[in-house]
Copies of this chain bind each other. A is one copy, B any other.
Amino acid sequence: MSTTVSPTIVHAGEGIRQVVRDAQRDGRRVGVVPTMGALHQGHLSLVDAAHQQCDVVIVTVFVNPTQFAPHEDYERYPRDLDSDAAKLSQHGCDYVFAPAVEEMYPQGFETSINVGSVALPYEGERRPTHFSGVATVVLKLLTLVPANAAFFGQKDYQQTLVVGQMIRDLNVPTKLVVCPTVRESDGLAMSSRNAYLDDDQRRRATALHASMQLARQMVDHGERQVATLQQAIESLLAEVGGIDLDYIAFVRAGTVEPVESIRGPTVVLMAARVGQTRLIDNMQIG
């Protein structure tokens, strides 16, 4: 927590770019936290990290239509810029960049970015246009806000790989900083979509984290077979019930390469529907 100062809200791309340039000309380090708003403690922890590592902190708030498929929740995704700005006022955020859709995607916009294999499995398979939308909007945000560092949450594991691949391949001069997932006291990963859950669903949803914890404990006690771990996760979720598992994957940490046994840093990824709400989570095990 730092001093309480309301961030300055900027809507124009050229305006925020000038803010960054002026700061950097004065030798100040700029950090950016790209968000879709509906800010929660997870976002605020990213802002805190940016505030620790940088002199000027910019939070972008933009519900990006191109990363939603037509049947997804773009229209009903929660939007409340005033509330977001108020939440940011105690976290050292200097500017909120909140462009209009027409600013980001004016008539005639047609460009898209594909980052290749890291975007293909898991979320990419279920949401085929999602990561191209993410890579494209993040590049646009980083050309408008050419910060020294950009802060993303570990909860969106595959997204951090997609953004990292894009930054590396396109020589974007912004350092990617990935921060730990922030969880509710019962383990549920913070997500703007948790607001869609009713009380019963909310209780069942904690099983995602609990099942990964179980897998981690099994690894800590010597289990190495992914098949055994996966079975334990599936059993726990089935026991809780009301959870429609989409996928569980065990991958070499920092990649999307599946592993069959735990021989080094490994991440377990999962996606599931609880009611109509699709949740994702991940945890490093081994």
Contacts and interface: CB of A to CB of B under 8 A. Distances in A.
Contacts of A113: 111-114
Nearest to A13: B171
Nearest to A145: B171
A173 B166 CA distance: 18
A111 B173 contact: no
Interface in A167-189: 168-173
A130 B113 CA distance: 15
Contacts of A171: 13, 140, 143-144
Interface in A216-239: none
A115 interface: yes
Interface string A96-136: 00000000000011111111111000000000000000011
A109 B17 CA distance: 28
Interface in A148-181: 165-166, 168-173
Interface in A1-37: 13, 17, 25
A111 B171 CA distance: 11
B143 A109 contact: no
A144 B168 CA distance: 12
A114 B129 CA distance: 14
B172 A143 contact: yes
A139 interface: yes
Given A111-B169, A112-B116, A113-B113, 8 more contacts: A109-B169, A110-B116, A110-B165, A111-B165, A111-B170, A112-B114, A140-B169, A143-B172
26 contacts: A17-B173, A25-B25, A108-B168, A109-B169, A110-B116, A110-B117, A110-B165, A110-B169, A111-B113, A111-B115, A111-B116, A111-B135, A111-B165, A111-B166, A111-B169, A111-B170, A112-B114, A113-B114, A136-B170, A139-B170, A140-B169, A140-B170, A140-B171, A143-B171, A143-B173, A144-B171
Task: Across the A-B interface, give the 9 residue pairs with the lowest CB-CB distance, nearest first.
Answer: A110-B116, A111-B169, A143-B171, A111-B115, A144-B171, A109-B169, A140-B171, A112-B114, A113-B113
